[in-house]
Amino acid sequence: MAIQTNRNDEVCERLKALGYAHRNRIRMYGEEFDLTSNPIANGSGFAVEAISRKSGDTRTLRIPLSILQMISKDLAAGTSRRVA
Question: Does 17 score more than 80 pLDDT?
Answer: yes
pLDDT digit string, tens, across residues 48-61: 999 999 999 999 99
Per residue, the 3-state secondary structure of 1-67, as one string, reads CHHHHHHHHHHHHHHHHCCCCCCCEEEECCEEEEECCCCEEECCEEEEEEEECCCCCEEEEECCHHH
The fold of the 2-68 domain, in CATH, is SH3 type barrels. (2.30.30)
Cα–Cα distances (Å) from 9 to 2, 31, 51, 60, 71, in that order, read 10, 27, 24, 19, 12
Residue 16's pLDDT band, with cuts at 50, 70 and 90, is very high
Q: Convert the pLDDT of each residue in 21-34 to its tens digit.
A: 999 999 998 999 99
